[in-house]
Chain A
């Protein structure tokens, strides 16, 4: 059983479309992180959300942390081919070590 469930698992859209991906759990978290991973590379941290209901924007990307701090969403406006990649959410699996627990990811393909 996955602690973090991401949906959809795969998404293929045309350039210019909007999309939302989700990261859900039944557990409450003190914070949640979103990463993007491109083929052949390591994950790169996009944002950390901490407060329930928090919304953070990174250019065309909007991240929201659920009010109950159990879930999060990532919305991309006017997607571009450069947004193609694997989007991963992650939470801290231990207050002592900082080890991360990842969702299985959403693979996004943006076609020109």
Chain B
């Protein structure tokens, strides 16, 4: 399967813990986008990365959230000191340029106890 791979599919954390969400883009794609989806809502843009660079993080909360896309390995969305309001589905999408269609993974469902 050459699609966008996200793991874990489900993640449960207690308040105050850290959550790490991983995204492996489609083969040949060097552009990665992260989106967050709350129940019964559309997706909200969080951050756009190219290899080793954050291009647009205008949708990222100012604190506790960070993202990276290293030269080797998957893109990581990291949430520190999670709170109940962080519970959501987090989707990653990849493309081979910033004006080509984005292909989405099946998301990570984060639940905060």
Q: Decide whether A and B assemble into one complex.
A: yes
Q: Which of B44, B98, B104, B105 contacts A96 (CB 8 A)?
A: B98
Which stretch of B11-19, B35-43, B72-80 is in the interface?
B35-43
Cross-chain contact A44 with B55 (CB below 8 angstroms): no
B91 at the interface (CB under 8 A from A): yes
Contact residues on A (Cβ < 8 Å of other chain), bracket = 20 to 34
Cross-chain contact B106 with A40 (CB below 8 angstroms): yes
Cross-chain contact B104 with A48 (CB below 8 angstroms): no
Nearest B-chain residue to A104, judged by Cβ: B42
CB distance from B30 to the nearest CB of A (A): 13
Cross-chain contact A88 with B43 (CB below 8 angstroms): yes
Interface residues of B in 78-94 (CB under 8 A from A): 91, 93
Interface residues of B in 2-54 (CB under 8 A from A): 4, 31, 33, 35, 40-45, 48
Q: Which of A40, A93, A100, A103 contacts B102 (CB 8 A)?
A: A100
Cross-chain contact B40 with A107 (CB below 8 angstroms): yes
Nearest A-chain residue to B38, judged by Cβ: A104
Nearest B-chain residue to A6, judged by Cβ: B42
CB distance from A39 to the nearest CB of B (A): 11
A93 contact set on B, CB distance < 8 A = 45
A112 at the interface (CB under 8 A from B): no
Cross-chain contact A42 with B104 (CB below 8 angstroms): yes
A63 at the interface (CB under 8 A from B): no
Cross-chain contact B48 with A44 (CB below 8 angstroms): no
Cross-chain contact A43 with B104 (CB below 8 angstroms): yes
